[in-house]
Amino acid sequence: MSYIEENLAQGERVLYIARFPWVYTANAIAFFFFCVALALVALIAIPVKSDSGFGFVVINSWRDITHIQWYLSAGLFAFGFLRFAYMMLVEQTTEIAVTSLRFIYKRGILSRDINSVNIDRVEGCDVKQGFLGFLMGYGMVEVRGTGIGEVRIPPVSRPKDLANSVQQAIGMHEHAGEKA
């Protein structure tokens, strides 16, 4: 069960749950494979200087690989893997939701950072999308509240839907206030 589902108040319901865009995952995977490719190049190619400039010589035997090449290759692979693991951990431990009473942005696993804004304190919501974000359906959302400033969240899929959900929650809250 997620943090948001565990901490709903009585009568509070989830209106929208935001997700990271596919571009975020693709970026993590592409960076990992880029580091693996660099590690392979570092392992099998030796830079040499000749009269015409610099070039590379491909190694014919495993015995020709130096310790420096092994360490460099292992370091590049480890860096790519750790960066990939970090990005996936961030994606899995970040929760962004709009409920009937609050806007919630939670991140972290060992130490949590939670921004929760009551809907009656929300002044507005801004969507920031660049050209690439517009084409690929992702962008950033900033929620402005009275007394709390802005809550900026990382890029999410379908940011306009998230902003519309915040506006819907504000409208529901105002409509409930008129009935009372």
The CA-atom distances, in angstroms, between 174 and each of 122, 161, 168, 170 are: 12, 20, 10, 6
Rounded CA-CA distance 43/141 in Å is 43
Which two structure tokens, joined as six digits, stand for 63? 């015995």
Closest C-alpha among 40, 140, 134, 121 to residue 80: 40
Strand partners, 116: 104
Spelled out in words, what is the top-level CATH class assigned to the domain 12-20+95-179?
Answer: mainly beta
The model scores a pTM over 0.75: yes
Domain residue ranges of the chain, discontinuous segments joined by +: 12-20+95-179, 26-89
Which two structure tokens, joined as six digits, stand for 40? 């392979």
Residue 113 CB: number of other CB atoms within 10 A? 9
pLDDT in tens, 46-97: 666 666 666 666 666 666 677 888 888 999 999 999 999 999 999 999 999 9
- CB under 8 Å to 77, separation ≥6 — which residues? 35, 36, 39
The CA-atom distances, in angstroms, between 27 and each of 4, 5, 30, 41, 61 are: 27, 29, 5, 21, 34
Which pLDDT does position 139 carry in this prediction?
95
Rounded CA-CA distance 126/115 in Å is 17
Evaluate if residue 133 carries a pLDDT over 90. yes
